[in-house]
Structure 1
Amino acid sequence: IFLCVDTPPTPSGDADLSRIWQAVADLPHEETRRVLVTKSTVPVGTGAHIQAVLRERGYTNIGYASNPEFLREGTAIADFMKPDRIVVGAPSQEVARQVADLYQGIECPVLLTDVASAEMIKYASNAFLATKISFINEIANVCEVTGADVKVVAQGMGLDHRIGPHFLQAGIGYGGSCFPKDVSALKQLAGNSGYHFQLLNAVIEVNELQKRRVINKIKNYLGSELRGRRIALLGLAFKPNTDDIRQAPSIVLAHRLLAEGAQVVGYDPVAMKNMRTLVPEMEYASSALEALRAADACVLVTEWAEFLSLDWAAAYKVMAQPVVIDGRNVLDGSRLAALGFTYEGVGTGPVAAAQTQE
């Protein structure tokens, strides 16, 4: 029996386990031998608690295992068929092997461990990836004041096999349903256990500030008064190939710009329906070019492929002021500057500005 319910964050930052406990309560009483396998991301200690509840309720026929999932939105099937690893935590090797055998035919390392360690592996993995993102974003911010190019810096770092190139793409911060929730939950778990996880506090703070730095970039080109200025947001989902806007940087940007009195128009290939329910006061365009029409500045928020292949020469003609803030460092700044745009990325500002001035 696979337990695959969501565990959203509570206002305190802890994981909401109400759906977990409802599912456990709904288990039928029967004699058949079963194994309850938790795929959901749960705090360390949840599995031990579930096992205790099962014993208290007389479910002696139900074994237990933790089998965290590592699927990414937009590539879930590929991630399932070709995972980096399969982790199974159980009180006994027999139960762990039963669960592991379900994945026969999938070639990857299989780690059999205890329940608590399996639960921690998921949290630690996501927290480490989020830490890499916040770290490279901090490096990007230092690059902006020193004249270095964070893309070149990240490339050089990534060539070190101890570091690797993954998750070293500077930008306007992470979002989605996993990283923000899991980093916060791990911080709360540590705090509830009597340990102050200082590093994760910094990771969270850096990520929140990174989203807001875009506002200052816009003001550098348009002036400190944004009232009445028309700002286009290209991309609203937290990443491409999904309509998920949970904890998306676009939400913070839209609210901050609206609070500054700006007229905000957004476009996303698939996420506008979800965004409308959350930010109804924002204008929504039918295409990227429509969003850019009469805009004083544009912020590329989500690196959708269609924005990379956009007819930027046509975009230049429809914008009121050709200012592009590339929040994902995916556009060709030199090409845009040659077209007449004022371009700035994240951690590449001084270089892009010099090219623009030429």
Structure 2
Amino acid sequence: MRHAIFLLTLLLLAHPAPADWLREEADVMGTRITVELFHSDPEVAQQSIEAVLEEMRRIDASMSPYIESSELARLNAAAGHAAFKTSGELFSLIERSLHFSELSDGAFDITFASVGFLYDYRKSKRPDAGQLKEATALINYRNLILNTDQKTIRFNKPGVRIDLGGIAKGYAVDRCIGLLQQRGIRQALITAGGDSRMIGDRWGRPWTIGVRNPRNEDELVAVIPLMDVAVSTSGDYERFFEEDGVRYHHIINPASGKSASEMQSVTIIGPDATTTDALSTTVFVMGLEAGLQLINRMPDIDAIVVDRNGELHYSESLQPAKKMDAGVNPSAQPVSD
């Protein structure tokens, strides 16, 4: 359920940034973090970028399931045996994750990790039939018992694991945008893998977001100018391997414990990155018809979907965007994370 990196392509104009614009990149949270912002005071701009990267590292240290000392890893190790007291931050994000589980009737489910850890995409490793059946039986967000007053979480079955990869990067992006706004930054872009949020404009023009072809990294399927929104993309081609003509990738269908197979990529546009992050995974798992029906019921949320056959689809309020495809500037060079 973690978002694929590289699916969201940021098209940056070819001419160099003015002196008052700063851009830096770093590898945090298992992905490439990009920060670009404007402030008339270079010292404020530099300090703001450093604050963003520090916040990204803090969240990674708390919420990565791969860091043994992280709060999430300690929760996974303990909550199957006894209630684990969490920080307010982690508790709130898990609560929000469960909201998306309820909204999607379980298509978004952070307990996917109960089977997800059995896959190793670098080594082309997947669970056998027996392992898959046993582990998939543990996937159910209702296996999490939350005590709101005490801020404790307990798993009602041993072996349950959670992973916030489908929402934590979006949350981190939102947190960092908030830090920039507190420092007086009004024009900025923050990207964490497939999750981005932008405030203000870029050199007096909207930020231009391009969605790449899931089967051709040099080709774009849509280009949209945007301001003051978040964008997240989930797809099947960043962490995957193929075996006997089957693509095994990291976006797990909680119902089967297997890779979701109805989509190639899903891009969601909305007001905040926590929401778009979760919804891009949700729609990917739900499939074309059910996924777009969900998005069309939600105010201020839009979707661009590439289905399993490579066909492009838009949510209802984005239909006019189809006309923009022919207007892509062939000289624009996509910059991947």
TM-score, normalised relative to structure 1: 0.28
Bigger radius of gyration among the two: 1
Greater per-residue strand proportion: 2
Higher relative contact order (CA closer than 8 Å, sequence separation 6+): 2
TM-score, normalised relative to structure 2: 0.29
Greater per-residue helix proportion: 1
